[in-house]
Amino acid sequence: MFKILLVDDEPNVRQGIKMMIPWEELGCEVVGEADDGDDGLSKIMLLSPDIVIADIKMPGKTGIEMTEAAKALGFKGKVLILSGYSDFTYAKTAIALGVENFILKPVDEDELIDAIKAAGEKITREREHRYRQEIGKEYLNEQLVKGLFSGSSDAVITVMNKYEYPGYCAAVVCSRSSSEADNKEVRRFFGNSGNVDIVSVDLSGTPGILFKGWSRADIKAALTKLYTTYKDRFYIACGEYVLSPAQIKTSYDCAEYIVRCRFIYDHLGIVFPENIRRTSPEDTADYADRIFAYMEINDKEKLGHLLDSFCESMQFDGNTPERAKVICLTMVMEVKTRLSRGSAEKRAECDISDEFIDSLQSAESLKEAVDSIKEELGEISDRAFGKTTKSTMERVVQYIKANYNRELRLEILAGIFGYNSAYLGKVFHQYTGENFNNYLDRIRITEAKRLLSMEEYKVYEVAEMVGYTNINYFHNKFKKYTGMSPLVFKKNGGSEE
């Protein structure tokens, strides 16, 4: 619908034009009237009409003077001049100002309709031309930004003299529902932001964002606001902050890696480079040892915190969803192995089913997998170890007897049971009558004597089986408690005589 402004100092003329022209059929609407050139100029700037139909001779500014002033102020619409004068001088002046038509009064209805149609067609062509130009510019810019994301040397060369920003950063915003409407929301969110280019980085239209000249803090604030505004609708990956157009690929590669690793980071919602750890996680065996320890003492709170820590440890540089799943499964199998070493009557209660292990492979995120592990191991801990009425020191002694063959220090026990190591040592001595190291050595040597009496084990094998990693240290400890070396004891058939 084209907006029409009528400017004439004669009300009857304005009313006549309004009545004679089938505006709706022409796709037009009269949005205002003015009774002189000055009022007409004000209405032009206020209403931004598409077509102005104005008398040439009016009080104050003439129609031509009004047109000249409006054009100088940036008015881009079309002007049709009505005049009772046939002097060619007026026509030449009107044409020089870009007036579309010069129509003599009294106005012929058909002539005015034809002039309005011609002006409307010209406006339509110009709009289409501008649209094609904008689309062309957008397309070329999109290809340029995609080239920068891919590291195209041609794209980098193109912008080297064009971009003079202090820094750059790429980000990718994934709709959790793969919604086209969500992708449009991202573009609208940054619609009024300067120095931001948004392109589609895949066939589903996922927005890739290039920030130019923004500070790190402003980028983080903007992406955080986007995430909180549309919470749960987006998974946002932000790349590294770089200082040169040639490094934009590095920033995009970082964001793209975070997108590929969505399984690992999905629970964070919005991921920045600082969320990626630079060191690999602890050995799964170490985690399994500590997890099993907390299960044995039925401390599900510490078990939960440890598994949360395990989940966080998966956020390391170079990890992949496939590798993270393998690490999870390996850790669970390590725990399963430790549980299977328990007493025969508890093995059924301690079993981690194959069905549960298989279910971990179908988890959609690392957090979902770890939460499932937390629930499963917590239930096993309740079944197998949660019914004891033993005191804390009884449980400490029970734990030592069950784990004497592993690395065991007072500090480790203190951490497991939540005590200060010095305090635990004091209470332990009061309860057992021995200090911790002597108690542990006695249990180990007792078991070593049993194993050495069997023909199938060599001395060094027995040392390892009871928790001594140094054969000489084992030899000295054994002799201290038995008065003879392990080898002599074995040759005597397991006798100390």
**Whose CA is closest to 159, among 206, 168, 187?**
168
**456 CB neighbour count, 10 Å cutoff:** 6
Residue that has been written with the tokens 């202090």 in this structure: 166
Q: How confident is the model at residue 92 (pLDDT cuts 50, 70, 90)?
A: low
Closest CA relative to residue 287, chosen from 305, 301, 307: 307
pTM recorded for the entire structure: 0.61
- pLDDT above 60 (res 19): yes
User: How buried is 350 (Cβ within 10 angstroms: 0-12 exposed, 13-18 middle, 19+ buried)?
Assistant: buried
Q: Residue 22 is inside which H or E element, if any?
A: none
* Distance of alpha carbon 298 from alpha carbon 154, whole angstroms: 63
d(CA 216, CA 260): 23
CA distance 246 to 32: 54
- For the chain, give the mean pLDDT: 88
Count of other CB atoms within 10 angstroms of residue 355: 7
Tell me the two tokens of residue 114: 């034809």
Q: Which of 236, 227, 176, 177 has its CA nearest to residue 209?
A: 236
Q: What is the DSSP string of 261-325?
A: THHHHGGGSEE-GGGSBSSPPPPHHHHHHHHHHHHHTT-HHHHHHHHHHHHHHT-BTT--HHHHH
Does position 348 have pLDDT exceeding 70, yes or no?
A: no
Statement: residue 335 has pLDDT above 80: yes
- Distance (Å) of CA 447 to CA 441, 443, 475, 485: 10, 6, 14, 15
Q: Is residue 483 predicted with pLDDT exceeding 80?
A: yes
Report phi then psi at 212, rounded to 5. Answer: -120, 120
Residue 236 clears pLDDT 80, i.e. is over it: yes
List strands edge to edge, sheet with 168-175: 196-200, 207-212, 168-175, 234-242, 270-271
Coil, helix or strand at residue 338 = helix
Position 387 confidence tier, pLDDT thresholds 50, 70, 90: low
- The DSSP secondary structure of 131-149, one letter per residue, reads HHHHHHHHHHHHHHHHHHH
